Structure 1
């Protein structure tokens, strides 16, 4: 429990949802949404801040040259990903540019949320200190071999690329240690939704207490 977290939403309860690549965060977030909860996805916000016409995209093009852009002027994500995995200085520069912009956009969207509780979905919730914004943290947990298989298939990436992303993230053990709640996504969809429903009811109860 993070008692010092500021009440950002109109109903004040903010839940951090995280998990490694391929763990099923998006599926879990959609499960909560079907039950009436709103969620803000840091990955979606990260794409929005580098959309066509944004100051961040202009800065990236100025830093890495026009080849970092697609023919239509949008960001070539594959090319940028390759650069930052090979060049730590480039990675640090990009993070210094994007993290403040992403954080500001996240805060604006979270503040506008009006559901009883709101989920902040972020793969690097703990690594980027976003857990300080929330009252509870939920980790979607899955076996590492399952992560690798799912993410490789979903992203059409090589196993070595997915493994590099996994290595850059907090370990499965570290995430479990930091979690207030854990959702086991090693089973089927029915088992997964049952866990989501239990936590949804728990969060509604907690939100009601905070409202009084």
Structure 2
């Protein structure tokens, strides 16, 4: 195992590929920390955090709950059918999420306690993370498996799944940037074996 050097690994994949399942296993398997970009985006919208005031100023206090925090459902309803507002919210959130994550990468590198720092994000490639991580891992599952998972776990219709898939990178794009591909289409034990072998190399 490397001494005093944190390996930074970006983890990405399409919706329904099973990123959470893979990352839960990774968490148990090595000395690591996992940063979930969606969780960061939620945290920085809390009262007192960097994105709270800009978003409330943009969308008005109609999006606040009784506790004064931003209500996710109210916010989603406000921007759902307004592409301009959605773009403006993303222009507030995306740079702030990136700044937070880049700061945490530097912090963990200087602490030198972890062996690995994993960054999970759907838009790793689009946001240029392939340039700041040591490796980029792509979690793959074939489309039929992903569709079945999304129907079972989230109750999505085929039409909704079609819309989501249209907005995501194609498999060949993910593979073009990936240093390592985990095939999570089948048996969970097979997925774990792939991860064990990869972690054993480092």
**Which interval holds the TM-score relative to the shorter structure?**
0.7 to 0.9
Other-structure match for 1:93: 88
- Counterpart of 1:27 in structure 2 is 21
Counterpart-to-counterpart distance in 1, 2:120 and 2:75: 23
| CA-CA distance at 1:88 after TM superposition | 2.4
- Cα deviation for residue 66 of structure 1 reads 2.4
Instruction: Tell me: CA distance 1:69–1:151, structure 2 relative to 1, closer, same or farther (3 Å).
Output: farther
Q: Which region of structure 1 is more displaced relative to structure 2, 147-156 or 53-62?
A: 147-156
* Structure 2 counterpart of 1:183: 182
Give the superposition deviation at 1:97: 0.6
74 and 151 in structure 1: CA distance in 2 versus 1, 3 angstrom threshold: farther
Deviation (angstroms), 1:58: 2.3
Deviations 1:22-52 (A, max 9, x none): 2111211121111123222111111111123
- Pairs aligned (count): 194
| Aligned counterpart, 1:6 | none
Q: Which residue of 2 aligns with 1:63?
A: 58
**Would you say the 8 A contact 2:50–2:96 is kept in 1?**
no
CA RMSD of aligned residues (A): 2.2
2:8 partner SS: strand
Matches within 5 A, 1:120-159: 120-159=119-158
Question: Does residue 192 of structure 2 align to residue 193 of structure 1?
Answer: yes
Q: What is the CA-CA distance between 1:120 and the residue it aligns to?
A: 1.2
Instruction: Please list every run of 5 or more consecutive structure 1 residues that lacks an aligned counterpart in the other structure.
Output: 1-9, 205-212
Q: Cα 1:107–1:22, aligned 2, differ >3 Å: closer, same or farther?
A: same
